[in-house]
Structure formats: C-alpha cells, structure tokens
Amino acid sequence: MAKSKSIRMKDIADRLGVSVSTVSKAIKGSYDVSAKTREKVMKLVEELDFEPNKQAQSLLQNKSYTLGVVVPDLDNSFFGSIIRGIENIAYQNGYNLIICQSHEDSVRELSDLKSLINHQVDGLILALASSTKDLKYLESLKARNFPYVLIDRGNDDLGVSQVLVDDFTGGMNASKLLFETGCLNVAHLAGPEKLINATEREEGYKQVCEDFGFDPLVVHCEFNEEKSFEKTLQLLQKHPEVDGIFAASDRIAVGAMQAVKSLGKSIPEDVSVIGFSDLAYSKYLEPALTTISQPAGDMGEKAMKVLLETMKQSEDENVNLAEKFVYQTKLIIRNSTKEIIQ
Amino acid sequence: MAKSKSIRMKDIADRLGVSVSTVSKAIKGSYDVSAKTREKVMKLVEELDFEPNKQAQSLLQNKSYTLGVVVPDLDNSFFGSIIRGIENIAYQNGYNLIICQSHEDSVRELSDLKSLINHQVDGLILALASSTKDLKYLESLKARNFPYVLIDRGNDDLGVSQVLVDDFTGGMNASKLLFETGCLNVAHLAGPEKLINATEREEGYKQVCEDFGFDPLVVHCEFNEEKSFEKTLQLLQKHPEVDGIFAASDRIAVGAMQAVKSLGKSIPEDVSVIGFSDLAYSKYLEPALTTISQPAGDMGEKAMKVLLETMKQSEDENVNLAEKFVYQTKLIIRNSTKEIIQ
DNA sequence: GTGAAAGCGCTAACAG
DNA sequence: CTGTTAGCGCTTTCAC
C-alpha cells in the first residue's frame, strides 16, 4: 500500500452528492448554504477528520500561515526563551514556525533565509549571525516589501522594525556595580568584536570607567567557557591587581570563575564577577552568579506582535513603518559580587 | 504598494518568448531543451533570483520537503542537541524543519501534530509528552501509513521505528557507581511516574539495590530544581543516613546539591550525587556533577536517517519495518562522587 | 441555494 | 526540441 492520500473536498462532495464548491462554502461558513447541507457537510468533516489542504489554500491566497525564525543557536536558553515568546503569539494567531539555526554562520544564514522564502513563509523574525556582513539579500527582501523584523541583533541600515535590548545601559549597570561594591580594578571580558551587542556592552563599560576615572582594560573573547578560562588566566597573570570582572555573557563568566578559582583566589572577595544574560543555570553556580537579565520571552512576544503588524501593513499600502523597541535589562544581584558600599 | 508577488515561471517565459513548460524543463535540467534556450533561461533565473514556488510543486508532487519535529521543550540542551542532529541530516537532504514544543502538554502536542499534518509535512519526528496517554491520533497516522519516528520517549504499541536510550542500564550504572564508591544508603530522586524514561532509570536503580542487598528508597520529583530542593530536604530530614543520591536528571541533581549544601553537608564526602543527561553546564557546577551522558546529537541524526528511510518505504510498498535503535549511555565521572574503592 | 468554470504556479504527458 | 493540455486541491465569481 502506497502512502494514502488524505481526504479531499471532492471525496466529501461525492459522498454527499453535492459539488465541491458547496462543500467549500459550507466549511467556510461564509456564502449562502442551506442549513441542512451545511449540517451534512460538517458531520462528514468531523467524521473523516477532514482539514483542507493548506498548500492549495496558500497557492490561491498567496499566504502560507507559516513564519520563519532564524536564530544563531538553540542550545542557549536565551534564544530558547525568545522562541517561546514568539511561539506563544504565533500560535494564538494560527501561524506555524519554521525554525532555523544559523550557527553564527552567515552562509548558512543566507541559505536558511532563501529556503524559508522559497517555502513561501509569510514573514520572518531574524537574529543576525555575528559574522553577517553582506546585507544584500535582506535589502532585497526589504525592497520587495517582504515583512520581517530583527530581534536582539539589530541593524539600523535595513529600515525594518527591531526588538532590541539596551546593551549599553546593561553594560554600564554591570560595570557600575563592580565599582560600587569596592572593586578598584575592573576588567572587561568582552564578546566578539564584530558583534554589535558585545560592542555596546563594551561601550557601556568604557563609559563607566571614564566616570570612575579608571583606564579600561578589555580582553576580547568568544562566547564559550573554554576560551574564557584561558583568557582570564592570561589576564590575571598579566594584571594580578584585577579585582572585578565584567563578563560579556554568562558563559564567559563561568569560564572566568573557573579560572579565578583555579588560581586559588576566592569570589567575590578577591575577584568579583558579573555576567550578562541570566542563563537558566546561573543561579546554581557557586557562588551564584550576579548578572544582567534580558526579558527574552517578552522580546519574542513583542517581535511576533510587530511582525503581525508589519504583515498587515504590507498587505495594504506601503506604510513602511520601521519602529525600534528597546528593552531595558535588569540587574540580578547574587553572590559573585560583594555588598554595595554605602 | 501592496506586497509584491514573486516572479513566476510565466514571467520568465514571457520575457523570453517561450512557453512555461520550456522554462520548467530548462530549470529541471531533465527533458530535452536546446542548449541555447537553457542558457537564456538560466541567465534570467540568475538575474531575477528566481526560485520555483514550493507550494505549487508540493501540490503537484504531494511532497512538501518540510518535516515536523515535536519535542517537549527547547530550553533544555538535551532536545536542543537532538534537534541539531536532526537538522544536520535534514539540511543535507533538502528538508526544512517545522519545530514545535509541546511543553509536555498532550493537548498542545495533539494540536501541533494536526497542524503539522495540515501543513502537509512529509514526515515527523516526535518525542512524546510525558502526559500523553491517548494514542488514537498517532495510531491513525500509522494506519494511514504516514511516516514518523519516535525519539527518546518510546512506545512499543505504535509499531513505528524508535531511537531511544537504554535508560535502564544508565540507571543501573549510575546507582552502581554510588555503591562502588562506598555509599551505603543510596536514595533515588526519580522523575515523574508517568514518564517511561524515568521509570526505566528507576528500575535500573532498583535492580542494583537488589544486587547490593539494599532496600530501595525512592522519592518522585518533577524535572526542576525547586521541587527537587524541597524533596531532598524532606528526604534528608527523614533519612539522615542517606549518603548517596541518584537523581533522575541533572536538573534534579542541581536542586539536590543545593539542598545537601544548605544542610551544611559536603559533597561528595557526606552525600554523593549523580545526575542524568550531562547538560551543558553540569561540568561547571561545584562540585562538577558526575552524570550519565546520552548521545543526543547522534540520536537526532539517526532518527532523521531512519525517517528518510521510512519515507522512502512508504512511497513504495507498505514495508512497515519498525526498528528500534537503542543507544547506550556513558558514565561521566566528575567530582560530586567519591573515588571508586578498589 | 447550488454548481460550473476559471485559475493560483507548477509539472508531465503527449503532440507536433 | 518546443508548446499545448490537463490537473494537483482549493476558492471564488457568476449564472442558473
């Protein structure tokens, strides 16, 4: 037996001795169909568990009720939470999500994007890969008035709506806390130089250094524990006076904590550490990690709402409204930093 | 300007003064088309960045090149890794993934499943929600010969291929290590009673208890740190003699560790703890968590390969081959357990 | 109220 | 080698 094709409207129509269009009308509820006919149809629909073929509908309506989401990674609870937020709203509005991971690779990202468009998604939510330089394709999407919104990884040149985090202020708050808790030599384990968010956090740090009259000490590092471990070791060897570390991400903070401990120094007494993102497990580290939390779920929901809005607009006229929503971070004080000095 | 429709074959055909079918043939490469015509067509295809409408192709071929994946959760690195594995193989074979999270809710799961089928996915990979009791829909899919495979959360009654983990042996190995490292009173913080994997791990524990002549001490717990913290506190109050805890998951282990520490006991000297799953951060806990790792990525890849195979079969005859692939776990010894006594 | 007919974008026979 | 034709499953005029 080959794969059984699913039931079509024609099957129902034949069984009932009516036409396909009558069945279609009955199911839609619109148009005039006699109550009797509708009842008969609906009964059979229930019985056979019939659902109209979305592909055929899409072809006709030029809508697929499917949305694309491209994020750098999924094994990070940050984007996981963002997707959960997106999903909440998408689900309520009858949309399905095709989720792709770019793995921070712009080649993969481009291919994902094309494949998604190719699958006739009605819209996109995208967190740019950190390596993405070439925006030609995204520009062409914009030019074609294809609805998409950027999340977390922003870009002002594209002229599309964005849902972002105020990384600069977050970076400032993190750095400030370190100084306010008595640290005198605060270093920054910054993220990749090409990543806008990382750069913003770094700028926040530098601003605070200036305010406190401290000469910035920045080391760049990838977003993983191993690299961070190495870099921190080097940093502390070269600068044993460092007594506070602002890590650009919780994963970097974890590596830093490991390194600090391996040197026999204690946290936060000898070296205070603060992270960024508040990953799910950060509160279970020892000491529990002080960090900056981002409202990932809210951001996902917002992005999805904005996308819905954008899709509505692009159906009508070219309103071309590119809004920018910037979420504030929250300082989560735990035990990897000292008490604030009054 | 309303949303610009994308380019169709007809647009290319018109521009070139040829027929649509000629364009189609030229693009496919199959059939006979003169080299000159093909060249002209391809040039325009490049220029306009044309991609055939997948919906239309699907409608015709009754294939969508889209697959559905339903997992309980995404903010857990276990299913994240599984998806990464699935994605690897799917991507290589030109398939897109629609990923849904059931949030362990069988109602949501059913609705996801229906929506996916409705979107004409060519196949499914599913990790059953722990609450799923009613298998009617899945049985009907199976009856209709719709290709799908089960991952991690197995079920033998469905008669479909499965990619699983040997949770029983994993549970045995975890429990055994505790006894072998000198623990005399090994308790088990088991997972939800309805979850097959948890039950298997529990059975493994009980088997080992029998081997070591110990009376099993089991406490059931949800897969989260807070509940585990409470349960562990209660357990240790009631049974202060407990000197080893086998937690059914790393998240449960984390809560247990917190509770043990809060009682002023040290790990592993006073109480040894072992988890299950080897989450990304488990090695960064203090002490680093001894645990049982599952080859999630490999499982994802395997499931996708099996699905590919199943889809091929269902196109041909009803081969109906339901294989079961059981992966072995690996014991990862870190610092939350003591040295093995020779 | 109902059905016939056209068509969404594409592919696959079949003529020519 | 190329074009005509029919049709995938569905919706939507437009007659009747």
φ, ψ for residue A163, nearest 5 deg: -120, 110
Q: If pLDDT is split at 50, 70 and 90, which confidence band does B5 have?
A: low
Identify whether B336 is part of a domain: no
Cα(B39)–Cα(A279) distance, integer angstroms: 53
Q: What is the pLDDT of residues A31-73, one digit of tens each?
A: 678 888 888 899 988 888 888 888 888 888 888 888 999 999 8
In a shared domain, residues B153 and B199? no
Q: If pLDDT is split at 50, 70 and 90, which confidence band does A4 have?
A: low
Question: Percent of chain A at pLDDT above 90?
Answer: 68
Where residue A32 sits, what CATH number does that domain have?
A: 1.10.260
Point out which residues pair with A195 in neighbouring strands.
none
Could you tell me the maximum CA-CA distance found in chain A, to the nearest angstrom? Answer: 88
Whether B30 has a pLDDT exceeding 70, the answer reads no
In a shared domain, residues B98 and B46? no
Q: Is A148 on the interface with B (CB under 8 A)?
A: no
The closest alpha carbon to B253, from B233, B282, B280, belongs to B282
Identify whether A160 is part of a domain: yes
According to DSSP, residue A252 is labeled H
Identify whether A149 is part of a domain: yes
Q: Is B116 on the interface with A (CB under 8 A)?
A: yes
According to DSSP, residue A289 is labeled P
**Mean pLDDT for chain A?**
92
Cα(B12)–Cα(A108) distance, integer angstroms: 28
CA B45 to C1' C16, in angstroms, rounded, equals 28
Nearest by CB to B96, which of A53, A119, A258? Answer: A119
Tokens standing for residue B299: 């499982």
Q: Does the pTM of the predicted model rise above 0.95?
A: no
Whether A17 has a pLDDT exceeding 80, the answer reads yes
In the predicted model, what is the mean pLDDT of residues B260-289? Answer: 96
User: How far does Cα B222 stand from its chain's mean position?
Assistant: 19
Q: If pLDDT is split at 50, 70 and 90, which confidence band does B2 have?
A: very low
**Mean pLDDT for chain B?**
92
Question: Percent of chain B at pLDDT above 70?
Answer: 97
In a shared domain, residues B262 and B193? yes
pLDDT at residue B288 in the model? 97
Whether B3 has a pLDDT exceeding 60, the answer reads no
End-to-end CA distance of chain B: 78
In a shared domain, residues B40 and B129? no
Q: What is the pLDDT of residues B169-187, one digit of tens each?
A: 999 999 999 999 999 999 9
pLDDT at residue B74 in the model? 81
In a shared domain, residues B130 and B19? no
Whether B62 has a pLDDT exceeding 90, the answer reads no
Where residue B175 sits, what CATH number does that domain have?
A: 3.40.50.2300
Please name the residue that has the structure tokens 């509820």.
Answer: A29
In a shared domain, residues B183 and B236? yes
> Which residue type, as a one-letter code, is found at position B93?
N
Tally of CA atoms within 13 A in the half-sphere of B83 that contains its CB: 31
- Residues B172 and B165: beta-carbon distance below 8 Å: no
Whether B95 has a pLDDT exceeding 80, the answer reads yes
Question: Percent of chain A at pLDDT above 70?
Answer: 97
Q: Between A74 and B78, where is the model more confident?
A: B78
Tokens standing for residue A79: 């984007």
End-to-end CA distance of chain A: 78
CA B310 to C1' C12, in angstroms, rounded, equals 26
Residue A19 contacts strand C, CB under 7 A: yes
Say whether B318 and A1 touch across the interface (CB within 8 A): yes
- Residues B15 and B29: beta-carbon distance below 8 Å: no
What Å distances lie between residue B84 and B70, B251, B280, CA to CA?
13, 21, 14
The closest alpha carbon to B253, from B274, B236, B268, belongs to B274
Instruction: Give A116's contacts in chain B (Cβ within 8 Å).
Output: 96
pLDDT at residue B4 in the model? 56
- Residues B108 and B164: beta-carbon distance below 8 Å: no
pLDDT at residue B92 in the model? 87
Nearest by CB to A99, which of B99, B145, B257? Answer: B99
Say whether B2 and A53 touch across the interface (CB within 8 A): no
Q: What is the pLDDT of residues B231-257, one digit of tens each?
A: 999 999 999 999 999 999 999 999 999
pLDDT at residue B341 in the model? 86
Q: What is the pLDDT of residues A22-36, one digit of tens each?
A: 999 898 876 678 888
- Residues B136 and B314: beta-carbon distance below 8 Å: no
Identify whether B331 is part of a domain: no
In a shared domain, residues B270 and B221? yes
pLDDT at residue B31 in the model? 63
Residue B126 makes CB contacts below 8 A (sequence gap 6+) with B69, B70, B113, B138, B148, B149, B150, B151
Identify whether A134 is part of a domain: yes
Which own/partner contact pairs does A59-62 have at CB distance under 8 Å and 24+ positions apart?
A59/B53, A59/B55, A59/B56, A59/B59, A62/B5
Instruction: Scan residues 206-245 of A and list those with Cβ closer than 8 Å to B.
Output: 225
In a shared domain, residues A102 and A40? no
Tokens standing for residue A204: 């926040």
pLDDT at residue A153 in the model? 94
Identify whether A171 is part of a domain: yes
Say whether A3 and B53 touch across the interface (CB within 8 A): no
Instruction: Give A291's contacts in chain B (Cβ within 8 Å).
Output: none
In the predicted model, what is the mean pLDDT of residues B80-91? Answer: 92
Whether A1 has a pLDDT exceeding 70, the answer reads no
Instruction: Tell me if residue B37 falls in helix, strand or coil.
Output: helix
In a shared domain, residues B24 and B115? no
pLDDT at residue A5 in the model? 67
Residue A41 contacts strand C, CB under 7 A: no
CA torsion angle B255 B258 B263 B266 (round to 10): 120
Cα(A208)–Cα(A176) distance, integer angstroms: 6
Q: Is B95 left (phi over 0), alpha (psi -120 to 50) or beta?
A: beta
> Mean pLDDT lowest for which of A6-20, A169-183, A260-274?
A6-20
The closest alpha carbon to A220, from A239, A198, A192, belongs to A192
Which of B73, B74, B223, B334 should be substituted to probe chain A, the one whose Cβ sees the most A Cβ atoms within 10 Å? B74
In a shared domain, residues B96 and B145? yes
Side-by-side strand order, sheet with B272-274: B217-220, B186-190, B244-247, B272-274
In the predicted model, what is the mean pLDDT of residues B292-299? Answer: 97
In the predicted model, what is the mean pLDDT of residues A193-221? Answer: 96
Q: Is A98 on the interface with B (CB under 8 A)?
A: yes
In a shared domain, residues A71 and A171? no
Say whether A96 and B96 touch across the interface (CB within 8 A): no
Total domains, chain B:
3
In a shared domain, residues B32 and B175? no
Tokens standing for residue A95: 């949309």
pLDDT at residue A259 in the model? 98
Which domain does A35 fall in, by range? 9-61
Q: Is A64 on the interface with B (CB under 8 A)?
A: yes
Say whether A98 and B98 touch across the interface (CB within 8 A): yes
